Amino acid sequence: MTPNDFIPDQWYPILDSETLRRRRPVGVKRLGERLVLWRDSGGNAVCATDRCPHRGVQLSLGRVCDGQLECPYHGLRFNAGGECVMIPANGDDAPVPRGFDLISRVVREGHGLIWCWYGDPALATDAIPWFVEAPDPGPRTGWIADDYPVSYLRVMENFGDLHHVPFVHRATIPGAGTRAEVEEARLDGDVVRLKVTLRHQRPRRLKIAYSFATAIRLPALVSITFARRAHFVAAATPIDETHTWLWARYRQDYVPGWMGGRLIARLGARFDFRSVFSRQDMRMLASQQLDNSCDISHYHLLEADGAIALYFAIRKRAIEQAQSKAAAPSTLSAAH
C-alpha cells in the first residue's frame, strides 16, 4: 500500500468547473498538496503547486493577468506551462532564470469538473472515469461540495452501504425496511455494481420498499439511482489522509428545468448533503475506529456490504499495478 492511502495513476476530480472563473485563481488542498488553479487566456484550466518559488507565498492569493498567474507578494508572473516569465524587481524585460518555474499538474476538464492526474504524468490516460448513467450538467441538475474531517475511504464505504438508511436516516427517510435484499453485487469491468431493495420483514400497506442502483469506480466515484427518476453522482477526493472533499451532482427527472427543475435539484442536493450526510452519516463516520484508515481487515462484512468488499479489492489491485509499473524501470536497469 502507498504510505498515504491514495490510489496512484488516477484522474481525481478536484474542483467543479463553475468555481474557476477567468480572473481569479482558486487554491485547494487535494491529495495532501496545496494546489493553485487558474484559467489561461484560452480559458483552459491550469494547475500547479500553490507556493511561490521566490519566498513561498500562496499563489492562490494572487490574480490572473492575461492568462498568467501573478504572485501577490512581489509580482512574479507564471504562464500556463508554469514557467516564470517575469520578475518585476529585476526589470520587466530582464531574462528569468529557470529555477523560478512552478511544478505543474496535468489537468483536464470534463463532465463539469476539473480533474487532476495523480501519479506518473507519462501514464495519464485519455479517458476520464465516469458512468454512462451519471448526470452531466443540465437544467435539472444541482451540485454541492463540502470538506469533511474523515478519510475518503469511510465516505466510499458509506456510499456502498444502503442498509444503514433505516437506522441512520430514520428521521429524514422514514419507512425504509431493515432487510437489505441484494439483487446484484458484482464487478462489471472496472465498475462495482450494486442493486439493493430495503424491504420490511412483514410487508404492509404504507410500508415502502426503497430500491437503489449503485455504481462505484476508482479512484473514489459513485453513482446512485433511486426511485428510478432521481440520480446522484459523487466524488470523494482526498484532501489528505483524514479529510475529504465531497462533491455531488443531483438530477431529478420529475420537474422540467423551465418549471424550476434546477432549483429543486439544488434544494435536493443541499438537503441530502447538509441534513442527511453532514448531520446523520458524519456522526457515524467520525466515530469509526480504525488503527489504519486503509486497513479494514478487522471488519466483519455482511452480504449487504458486498460493494465495500469489491471496492477495496479493485483499489488494492490498482495500487499493486501502479507499484509494479513504478518498479519496472529499476528492474530493467538492474538486469543490465
From the list Fe ion, ligand FES, none, partner contacted by residue 271 (C-beta under 5 to 8 A by kind): none
Q: Give the pairing type, strands 243-252 and 230-240.
A: antiparallel
As given in the structure block, the three cell numbers for residue 100 are 523560478
Alpha-carbon span 230 to 135, nearest angstrom: 10
From the list ligand FES, Fe ion, none, partner contacted by residue 281 (C-beta under 5 to 8 A by kind): Fe ion
Q: Give the pairing type, strands 141-148 and 113-118.
A: unpaired
> Grid coordinates 412483514 are at which residue?
202
Note whether 305 binds Fe ion by CB under 5 A. no
Q: How many CA atoms lie within 13 A of 13 on its CB side?
A: 27
Map the footprint of ligand FES across residues 271-310, applying CB under 6 A: none
Q: Give yes or no for a contact between 132 and 224, defined as CB atoms under 8 angstroms apart.
A: no
From the list 35, 37, 46, 52, which residue makes contact with ligand FES (rule: CB under 6 A)? Answer: 52
Tell me how far, at minimum, the Cβ of 76 lies from ligand FES, in Å. Answer: 4
From the list 50, 241, 281, 305, which residue makes contact with Fe ion (rule: CB under 5 A)? Answer: 281
As given in the structure block, the three cell numbers for residue 4 are 498515504
Residue 36 or 307 having the CB closest to ligand FES: 36
Tell me how far, at minimum, the Cβ of 74 lies from ligand FES, in Å. Answer: 3
As given in the structure block, the three cell numbers for residue 336 are 543490465
Note whether 170 binds ligand FES by CB under 6 A. no
From the list ligand FES, Fe ion, none, partner contacted by residue 322 (C-beta under 5 to 8 A by kind): none
Residue 71 or 194 having the CB closest to ligand FES: 71
Alpha-carbon span 263 to 153, nearest angstrom: 31
Tell me how far, at minimum, the Cβ of 53 lies from ligand FES, in Å. Answer: 8
